[in-house]
Amino acid sequence: MADSAQARTYPEELFSIALALFATIFAPLYIWWTGGWGNPENHLYWTVPVWTGLIYLIIQMVFLLQSASQIRALGVLDSVVAILPLVAGLVMLSLNIVDSSNFKYTAYQHNSIAVLIVVSAAEFLLTIWIRFVVNRRTIGLGGGN
Asked if residue 35 lies in contact with residue 109, where contact means CB atoms within 8 angstroms, the answer is yes
17, part of any domain: yes
141, part of any domain: no
52: CB partners within 8 A, 6+ apart: 115
What is the rounded CA–CA span in Å between residue 112 and residue 62?
23
40, part of any domain: no
Letter for the amino acid at 67?
A: S
Average pLDDT, the chain: 81
pTM of the full structure: 0.79
61, part of any domain: yes
5, part of any domain: no
139, part of any domain: no
Q: Would you say residue 5 has pLDDT above 50?
A: no
1, part of any domain: no
What residues make up the domain containing 58?
A: 11-34+47-134
Please report, for residues 1, 99, 136, 139, the alpha-carbon distance to residue 74 in angstroms, rounded to integers and kept in the order given.
Answer: 21, 40, 11, 6
Q: Would you say residue 118 has pLDDT above 90?
A: yes
Cα–chain center distance at 2: 31
pLDDT average, residue stretch 115-134: 87
Number of domains in the chain: 1
What pLDDT, on the 0 to 100 scale, is given for residue 143?
52
Q: Would you say residue 4 has pLDDT above 50?
A: no
What secondary structure does DSSP assign to 85-100, as a single string? HHHHHHHHHHHHHH-T
116, part of any domain: yes
